[in-house]
Amino acid sequence: MQKTAQEELNYLKIGKATDLQGRDRKIYRILEIFPGVFSIVTLVVLIILSYFKPVWVAYVIIAFDVYWLLLVFYMAIFLITAYLKLKKGSRTDWREKCEELKELKGEEKISNQALCHQGMTWNDLTQLIILPLYQEDEEIIKGCLDALLKDTFPREQMIVAITFEERAGLELVKRRQEFVAKNYQDKFGHLFITTHPDGLVGELKGKGANQAWCAKTVKEEIIDKEKIDYNKIIISVFDIDTVIEPGYFFAVSYKFLTVPKPYLTSYQPVPVYHNNIWDSPFFSRVAASSNTFWQMIMQIRQESLVTYSSHSMSFRALVEIGFWGTKNVSEDSRIFWHCLLYYNGDYRVEPVYVKVSMDVTTDENWWKTAKNLYKQQRRWAWGGENIPYLLFNTAKRWHNPGFQKGKLAEHIFIQIYGFHAWATNAIIIGFVGWLPMLLGGDRFNSTVLSGNLPFITQKLMTFAMIGMVLSAVVSYLLLPKKPKKYGWFKKIKMTLEWATVPVTIVIFGAIPCLEAQVRLLRGKYMGFWVTPKVRKN
């Protein structure tokens, strides 16, 4: 019997196995177990075989090191390409390019399906900006809102909706709301301030539920009352510490007006962590910059590009899918998977080569920062919850007319590979690679291979260091202007910190990812942990 549209929509809103019943619940639970089992079995098998079949493992390690070297060169090319595109994007006058679309004077080839060919211009667009927050202080709120004011897009075409959490404490919320109203009430076309109620049925306490509440309320209170056309609204969701690069909204408008299917597209800028990068500990900086580079690489590998943190999409699509789900942790990527499945695979992410800057994880001291960074990375790694979601819903919609099976299969493979590599690669290189010599005994140490393994591994990893050097160089080039309180050596020191990558990718990469997968395997579901935002004066 064919499922109704409402039943399929409900499947797309699930957060975990316990949201389901009967056979569906059992199947989803098995799928939740899979990512953790895959990673653990990989590591355990290599460890066991290092004792019983050390020669086999030695060959596996050499092959893996060769693969890693090729991957580093492959990613290096993408990183350089992305950096050049980002520099070009930052120099581009996006308003001028939007003006050129009115007479189609631009040199770029634009699809006949594009909205600019249908008479729509940037003047017709409304920018809806959703800003969810929890307990962040006034300085952080001010930085975000001031950046919106500095953008060149007309303020009267902006609806800025800032949504507080009741669970943060009504007294704190009241003070923050008064601050926002006093300083920004008449600065935008609309400034909408709301408070997300605590304890709503069917909601996980987190960002997704908050921004869904806000978007629905703005729709009822402003958009529907003023009869603003959904087709002409671009909605952007920013973490409250986000500081956009001037020109962001014209860049997004240009993309919206020129892509072939604007309503079936999300728009992803490049996230950088520059707000407090000069004041944060070295390990936190390295982890943040590594994430930036990964997102830059994904901008080039568009088949792998998924929405992340701050991004934009059409309001029409958001309404059609029923807004964000309220039961999952990784709301930023889940909205893409939700759209991809809802539209039977006919959905994509368009890269926008403009920066949005956020905070590096920082706290009062190194120890607190390290704990917070670990928890942040573990929460990000909880994005592995999307693997069972994708597998389950792909199976449910497999026979839908027009369902793009090949595209979904490719995305699923990329996600499984990505989270498995995140949890295991650094451990294999840094730990498992030595086990044949440590556990193999005379069976291995008496072979010629035992003498060659360290030499081969060292040479391959030395060549692979090119990737780390390149990352250090790009990190240096991307750094914002140095505060006067720091001397000339600060930049050099921050560049040299990349030598700690072999350690940081294990402690703040593989281990938290593996823990997240084990938690999912055991059914110990995580809530949404809000990273504390502390800026040092």
DSSP string covering 121-173, please? -GGG-EEEEEEE-SS--HHHHHHHHHHHHHSSS-GGGEEEEEEEEGGG-HHHH
Digitized pLDDT (tens) for each residue of the chain, 537 residues in all: 455 555 555 899 999 999 999 999 999 999 999 999 999 999 999 999 999 998 899 899 989 988 888 888 888 999 999 999 999 999 999 999 999 998 876 556 888 889 999 999 999 999 999 999 999 999 999 999 999 999 999 999 999 999 999 999 999 999 999 999 999 999 999 999 999 999 899 899 999 999 999 999 999 999 999 999 999 999 999 999 999 999 999 999 999 999 999 999 999 999 999 999 999 999 999 999 999 999 999 999 888 899 999 999 999 999 999 999 999 999 999 999 999 999 999 999 999 999 999 999 998 899 999 999 999 999 999 999 999 999 999 999 999 999 999 999 999 999 999 999 999 999 998 888 888 888 877 777 777 777 777 778 877 777 778 888 888 889 888 989 988 888 888 888 888 898 899 899 999 999 999 999 999 999 999 988 888 887 775
CA distance linking residue 247 with residue 527, whole number of Å = 35
Q: What count of residues does the chain have?
A: 537
Number of other residues whose CB lies within 10 A of the CB of residue 25: 15
pLDDT at res. 461: 78
DSSP string, 299-318: HHSTTT----SSEEEEHHHH
Dist. CA 296–CA 300, nearest whole Å: 7
Contact partners, residue 408, CB within 8 Å, separation at least 6: 340, 341, 345, 390, 394
Helices 331-342, 386-397: axis angle to 10 degrees equals 10
Kindly tell me the burial class for residue 490, based on how many C-beta atoms sit within 10 Å of its own C-beta (0-12, 13-18, 19 or more).
middle
Separation of alpha carbons 474 and 52, rounded Å: 44
- pLDDT at residue 495 in the model: 87
pTM of the complete model beyond 0.85: yes
Do the strands 348-357 and 243-244 form a parallel or antiparallel pair, or are they unpaired?
Answer: antiparallel
pLDDT of residue 1: 40
- Give the pLDDT score at 354: 97
Q: Where exactly are the structural domains of the chain?
A: 1-109+245-309+320-451+468-502+523-537
| Residues ≥6 apart with Cβ < 8 Å to 94 | 247, 250, 251, 253, 254, 354
pLDDT for 9 = 54
Vertex 504: Cα angle to 500 and 510 (nearest 5):
145
Cα separation of 102 and 118, whole Å?
10
- The amino acid that residue 521 corresponds to is L
